[in-house]
Structure 1
Amino acid sequence: MDLIAAFRVFIRVAESGSFSAVARETTLSQPAISRQIAALEDHVGARLFHRTTRSLTLTDDGQDLLIHAKRVLDALAEAEQAVGHRRGRVAGQVRLSVPATWGRLQLAPRLGKLLAAYPDLSIDLLLNDAPADLVAEGIDLALRAGEITDGSLVARRISSVSRYVVASTAYLAAHGTPQTPQDLVAHQCLIFSRAVSPQVWHFTGPEGELEIAVGGRLRSDSGEAIREAVIDGYGIALLPDWYFRDEIKSGQVRLLLENWQNPPTPVYAIYPSRRHLSPRVRALLDFLIAEFGVNGVAHK
């Protein structure tokens, strides 16, 4: 059997979770794809997918093979590039996972520059505040804030993000403006549960280092939800200022406690552990570093 072709089909089925979806994007029929997966299972001597009428998921053996199959194809791509077959051309699809609000406000408006530079490159952009399972979801590259503890991943620090105490002018008019971090205890604070320290806010300022335990009636794992709650006047949040660039400019949202700083959170580009990156993933990683290095905000 053509093991390379089988690996390509296997990876796409694993990423899409569907034989029919792969059939639609290739010249193969759905029965042909099913036969190719069955032949691959016979070749490796293991069942690769759990099949039901409603879902198609990888078995443990399938998860293991997915990692190795990607390594094989990446090695092949690198070998082709080394001998000049691809002449260094960046091509193919990269599956990228990033935090939702950052992806919408910072990354999406600038992807056109990358796509214009590489006409044969395509991006599958996933916006999600929840940490992604890179192998199970077929993700090539992801951005995560905070320290990376998973030793199976390669992590490259590309920037850091600073957070600020923010509130709408409507909320402040109704409830008053906190003058010190300690004043936050008496306010409705909006809790972003995926932050590094959701309900203990850390500050450095005139009185040294402070840790303030905050509380409020609204908690969410969505940065978008917290952003909208701030704009609508529900409370005070600790978020990056670029969440509210237009609202701060218009005066609808204000930065508070500007003499106090919250420690920056590191931002990492992560990818499954492997010896080499494919040219397309390398091109995307270099783009992210060039555009968003230092503070996670696009350079002018």
Structure 2
Amino acid sequence: MLDWDRLRIFHTVAESGSFTNAGMRLNCSQSAVSRQIRALEESLNVSLFTRHARGLVLTQEGQELYNTAREMVLRLEETQRTLMESRENPSGILRVTTMVTFGAVWLTPHLEQFMTEYPDINIKLILDDADLDLSAGEADVAIRLHEPEQADLIQRPLATFHSHIYASPEYLDRMGTPVTPSDLDQHDLITFGISNVPTIRGLNWLLTVGTPKKERSPRLQINNLYGVLHAVEAGMGIAVLPDYLVHNRQKLVRVLPKVEGTPFNSYYCYAPELRGSLKVALFRDFMVRQIRAESNIL
């Protein structure tokens, strides 16, 4: 297999017409250039140049190799220009996955600003409470609201999220407002049913907070965060909800505001193969800016 460095030096020598001129262009000595050409000739077992007083002339074999090398250099230069242009004007599809409620309630409204800033980047948003396999190419990036389980992914911390207890004004008017955590024993509690989502599993602390006795029994169980939200808005009971889900929803009131669950972290994840992707980096920076701007409500 041809050594690319030697082929690059050969192309420069053929363009320059002498070892001296090629050395000046390559910023190395004439003898170093000569040694590389000699090594290339020995590896191919052909003579590439005819040497005479006026300089170097390509042999027939040298001309064939030069034609190939020139085509390669031109294609590389074209690729470099394309890459430079793509860094200045990123384009194409970026596939983003995250859990359903976070993606639908918080992320989707924010995408308008990103798409305005980068009109040539198209977003494919994949909402799924299961973790898609980024290494298998099921998505480009993932926003995970729990510590990623795929150790081979690049993981960048985004933010820490909080959860509190919420109810509708109508429910509180009908059933009264809890003053202490133990008062929850007298209320209709809405919790999460069986779920494989780590974040949702961690939101069922309403059943144990403030009670040294046995775990409370929920009045209603729903295995979907959206379903829990709508049940609370409908006045069916009290539930724990992530604060990002409740922001700007006028139908909900925070109950026992000083009581909150264990905060959970979010991560921006992508496969190592996309480490140099400008689209991935731009979306990561966008997410960081948006979350920092709203850190007081998340």
Q: Secondary structure at the match of 1:190?
A: strand
Q: Which residue of 2 aligns with 1:231?
A: 233
Give, in angstroms, the shift of residue 169 of structure 1. Answer: 1.8
Q: Which residue of 1 aligns with 2:285?
A: 286
* Residue type of the alignment partner of 1:181: P
Task: Tell me the alpha carbon deviations over residues 197-224 of structure 1, each in whole angstroms, 9 at most, x when there is no partner.
Answer: 24334999xx9x9999443133233211
1:212/1:239 Cα in 2 relative to 1: closer, same or farther (>3 Å)?
Answer: farther
Tell whether 2:93 aligns with 1:93. Answer: yes
Give, in angstroms, the shift of residue 225 of structure 1. Answer: 0.8
Q: Report which stretch shifted further, 146-155 or 229-238.
A: 146-155
1:298/1:281 Cα in 2 relative to 1: closer, same or farther (>3 Å)?
Answer: farther
Q: Distance in 1 between matches of 2:160 and 2:293?
A: 6
Q: Distance in 1 between matches of 2:256 and 2:127?
A: 31
Tell whether 2:205 aligns with 1:200. Answer: yes
The structure having more radius of gyration, on CA atoms, is 2
Q: Distance in 2 between matches of 1:277 and 1:297?
A: 32
Give, in angstroms, the shift of residue 129 of structure 1. Answer: 2.8
Runs of 5+ consecutive residues of structure 1 not aligned to the other structure: 1-75
Q: Secondary structure at the match of 2:142?
A: strand
Tell whether 2:126 aligns with 1:126. Answer: yes
Q: How does 1:115-194 map to 2 (within 5 A)?
A: 115-136=115-136, 138-192=138-192, 193=195, 194=197
Q: Secondary structure at the match of 1:286?
A: helix
Q: Secondary structure at the match of 1:215?
A: coil
* Residue type of the alignment partner of 1:269: Y
Give, in angstroms, the shift of residue 227 of structure 1. Answer: 0.7
Conserved? CA contact 1:185–1:212, under 8 Å: no
Q: TM-score, with normalisation over the residues of structure 2?
A: 0.62
* Residue type of the alignment partner of 2:95: R
1:176/1:81 Cα in 2 relative to 1: closer, same or farther (>3 Å)?
Answer: farther
Q: TM-score, with normalisation over the residues of structure 1?
A: 0.61
Q: Secondary structure at the match of 2:88?
A: coil
Q: Distance in 2 between matches of 1:173 and 1:288?
A: 39
1:242/1:276 Cα in 2 relative to 1: closer, same or farther (>3 Å)?
Answer: closer
Q: Distance in 2 between matches of 1:184 and 1:259?
A: 14
Conserved? CA contact 1:202–1:262, under 8 Å: no
Give, in angstroms, the shift of residue 139 of structure 1. Answer: 0.6
Q: Distance in 1 between matches of 2:87 and 2:102?
A: 34
Aligned residue pairs, count: 216
Q: Which residue of 2 aligns with 1:60?
A: none
Runs of 5+ consecutive residues of structure 2 not aligned to the other structure: 1-75
Q: Which residue of 2 aligns with 1:105?
A: 105
Q: Secondary structure at the match of 1:280?
A: helix
Q: Distance in 2 between matches of 1:81 and 1:190?
A: 58
Give, in angstroms, the shift of residue 173 of structure 1. Answer: 2.7
Conserved? CA contact 1:188–1:236, under 8 Å: yes
Give, in angstroms, the shift of residue 269 of structure 1. Answer: 1.1
Q: Distance in 1 between matches of 2:253 and 2:143?
A: 28
Give, in angstroms, the shift of residue 282 of structure 1. Answer: 1.1
Q: Distance in 2 between matches of 1:198 and 1:162?
A: 10
Q: Secondary structure at the match of 1:266?
A: strand
Q: Distance in 1 between matches of 2:264 and 2:218?
A: 23
Q: Secondary structure at the match of 2:202?
A: coil
Give, in angstroms, the shift of residue 153 of structure 1. Answer: 2.0
Q: Which residue of 2 aligns with 1:16?
A: none
Conserved? CA contact 1:106–1:298, under 8 Å: no
Q: Which residue of 1 aligns with 2:64?
A: none
Give, in angstroms, the shift of residue 275 of structure 1. Answer: 6.8
* Residue type of the alignment partner of 2:275: H
Q: Which residue of 1 aligns with 2:38?
A: none
Give, in angstroms, the shift of residue 267 of structure 1. Answer: 0.9
Give, in angstroms, the shift of residue 296 of structure 1. Answer: 5.9
